[in-house]
Amino acid sequence: MGEVRNTSGREAVRVEVTGSEVGFATTKFDALLGWARKWSLFQYPFVTACCGMEFMSLNGPRFDGLARFGAEAPRFSPRQADLLWVVGTISQKQAPALKRIYEQMCDPKYVVAFGTCASSGGFYDNYATTPGIDKIIPVDVYIPGCPPRPEAVIDALNLLQDKIARGDRTPGVVKPREDIVERQLVTLRKSATDLDYGPQRRSGEPPITLGRTSDPKEGER
């Protein structure tokens, strides 16, 4: 027997076995239930697009990404499943079908948005496509990528398992996005102004600036 760790920050629990057959375990019921749930996910793959190829690769022998984590058996009836994988683009026309599938699943149920299209609509920013399945059903974990690497999916599954273990049922929230290039430019501009460009400084010109600057005085110390 191994250790059952409660990741919610509450008191950790431990399962101990002494001797060969005799033993006792102390735990909280919620922790035990969460531990049991997270290792016995029954998945319903709602595969609509090219991400499905990557979903197959995930389940292939190289990664074996779901069976290793207790989600081996797919159930092609939502009534028998508790984990809904939405793999691929969901069109506006498909949205009612997805909603109905979700409503047929029994509690507790979890949803993973596999890939950019399921998460946000991706580059299908048009009349036909639902801009993210969270407009229709709550999503627990989003996986970015077009398609995502199997490692990313395994990471997402681990995140979901953590979430299940601590009994967290709140929908996932994507952080407000940040322009990485813009942030790097700000950093570079700052370091550029910190450097001493001798001839330029002697002639009174501002040093080299990168990207846009709103304030012409920004280059001066």
Partner 1 sequence: MSAVVVERVKAQFGSKVVETTSFRGDESIVVEPAAYYQVAKFLRDDPACDMSMFIDITAVDYPSRDARFELVLNLYSLHKAHRVRLKTRLFEAEQGEVADATRPTTVPTVSTLWAGANWFEREVWDMFGLKFEGHPDLRRLLLYEEFEGHPLRKDYSADKTQPLMPYRSGPDVLGKQRPFLGDEGMPFGRKDWAPRDASWSDDSLGDPEDAPPPDGTAPV
Instruction: Spell out the residues 6+ positions from residue 57 whose beta carbon is closer than 8 angstroms to its own.
Output: 63, 150
Helix axes 29-38, 150-165, angle to 10 degrees: 160
Single out the residue of 103, 59, 113 nearest to residue 81, CA to CA: 103
Amino acid at 207: P
Residue 5: how many CB atoms within 10 A of its CB? Answer: 12
- Minimum Å gap between C-beta 218 and partner 1 is 9
Residue 178 in contact with partner 1, rule: CB under 8 A? no
130 is a site residue for partner 1 (CB under 8 A): yes
- Binding string to partner 1 for residues 75 to 104, with x set by CB under 8 A, is what? -----------------xx-xx--x-----
Report if residue 135 touches partner 1, rule: CB under 8 A.
yes
Q: Which CB sits closer to partner 1, 151 or 218?
A: 218
In sequence order, what E strands does the chain have? 14-17, 23-26, 43-47, 83-87, 110-114, 141-143
Choices 6-14, 78-86, 101-109, 164-172 (CB under 8 A): range interacting with partner 1: 164-172
Specify the stretch interacting with partner 1 by CB under 8 A; choose among 16-24, 61-69, 114-122, 196-204: 114-122
x/- string (CB under 8 A) for partner 1, residues 33-72? ----------------------------------------
Should residue 148 be labelled a site residue for partner 1 when binding is judged by CB under 8 A?
A: no
Write the DSSP assignment of 82-144 as a string of letters: SEEEEES--BTTTHHHHHHHHHHSPSS-EEEEESHHHHH-TT--STTB-S-GGGTS--SEEE-
Structure tokens at 124: 């299908």
> Does the protein bind partner 1 through residue 128 (CB under 8 A)?
yes
Residue of 34, 78, 115, 172 interacting with partner 1 (CB under 8 A): 172
List interacting residues with partner 1 (CB under 8 A): 92-93, 95-96, 99, 120-123, 125-128, 130-132, 134-139, 170-174, 176-177, 182, 186, 212, 214-215
